[in-house]
């Protein structure tokens, strides 16, 4: 009986995949509050619901920190199935996930950015909640062409927000290399 109780407590929170989003109901998953403390997701719906960005959901699912159930079918989704479903809305999701995972593994707090072009705001280590983010990250896959307009727009957005632009380049083997971008005076 005691062993069963331990297993029950160790179960990860169940998230719902609905309308292309991954949502946790805080009423049904009080243990999900711990995810907010780790910097994941945004509270919505009168703070009763917790929405995960696609890359956050993939990261937590890969860590087995959540389970994701497709609300339409009742199927528990694997990492690959969730990736496929989420990628149908964003073909660059895999690159974003790899950059997100790499930044988190390096100890940075990563929150959603200002646009599709700048998907991440990155906080210095230990600065989340105390200081504004310092960096905006532009993700790119090796070999993928990028219009100069896109870089110029990212630099202008960062300048207006008083942040630095970092290019997170995902190499063919899945490794991430970072470059700092700046405007010529």
Which of 87, 113, 138 is the endpoint of a domain?
A: 87
The residue segments making up the domain with residue 106 are 93-181
Least confident range of 85-89, 99-103, 116-120 = 116-120
Residue 6, pLDDT > 80, answer no
CB 181 within 8 Å of CB 165: yes
Which of 87, 108, 126 is the endpoint of a domain?
A: 87
Instruction: Name the more confident of 181 and 77.
Output: 77
pLDDT of residue 59: 97
The string of pLDDT tens digits covering residues 93-105 is 999 999 999 999 9
Q: Are residues 107 and 75 in the same domain?
A: no
Report pTM: 0.88
Q: Are residues 81 and 151 in the same domain?
A: no
Mean pLDDT throughout 44-53? 83
Q: Are residues 71 and 101 in the same domain?
A: no
Q: Are residues 77 and 143 in the same domain?
A: no
The string of pLDDT tens digits covering residues 121-176 is 999 888 887 899 999 999 999 998 989 898 889 999 989 999 999 999 999 999 99
Say what percent of the chain tops pLDDT 90.
Answer: 60
Strands, E assignment, the chain: 14-18, 21-25, 42-44, 49-52, 67-70, 109-112, 120-123, 135-141, 164-170, 176-181
Which of 68, 66, 25 minimizes the C-alpha distance to 46? 25
Q: Are residues 117 and 177 in the same domain?
A: yes
Mean pLDDT throughout 38-57? 87
pLDDT of residue 9: 56
pLDDT class of 74 with cuts at 50, 70, 90: very high
Q: Are residues 144 and 130 in the same domain?
A: yes
CB 176 within 8 Å of CB 169: yes
Which of 67, 87, 107 is the endpoint of a domain?
A: 87
The string of pLDDT tens digits covering residues 174-185 is 999 999 988 765
Q: Are residues 70 and 131 in the same domain?
A: no
CATH (domain of 156): 3.40.1350.10
């Amino acid at each position: 009986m005691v062993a069963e109780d331990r297993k029950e407590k160790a179960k990860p929170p169940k998230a719902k995949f609905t309308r292309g989003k991954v949502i946790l109901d805080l009423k049904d998953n009080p243990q999900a509050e711990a995810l907010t403390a780790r910097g994941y997701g945004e509270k919505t719906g009168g703070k009763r619901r917790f929405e995960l960005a696609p890359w956050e959901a993939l990261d937590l699912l890969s860590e087995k920190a959540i389970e994701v159930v497709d609300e339409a079918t009742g199927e528990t989704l694997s990492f690959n199935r969730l990736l496929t479903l989420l990628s149908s809305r964003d073909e660059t999701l895999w690159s974003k996930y790899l950059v997100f995972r790499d930044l988190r593994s390096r100890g940075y707090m990563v929150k959603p950015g200002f646009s599709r072009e700048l998907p991440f705001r990155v906080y210095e280590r230990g600065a989340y909640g105390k200081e504004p983010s310092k960096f905006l990250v532009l993700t790119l896959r090796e070999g993928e062409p990028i219009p100069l307009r896109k870089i110029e727009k990212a630099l202008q957005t960062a300048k207006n927000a008083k942040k630095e632009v970092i290019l997170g380049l995902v190499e063919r083997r899945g490794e991430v290399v970072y470059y700092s971008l700046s405007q010529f005076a």
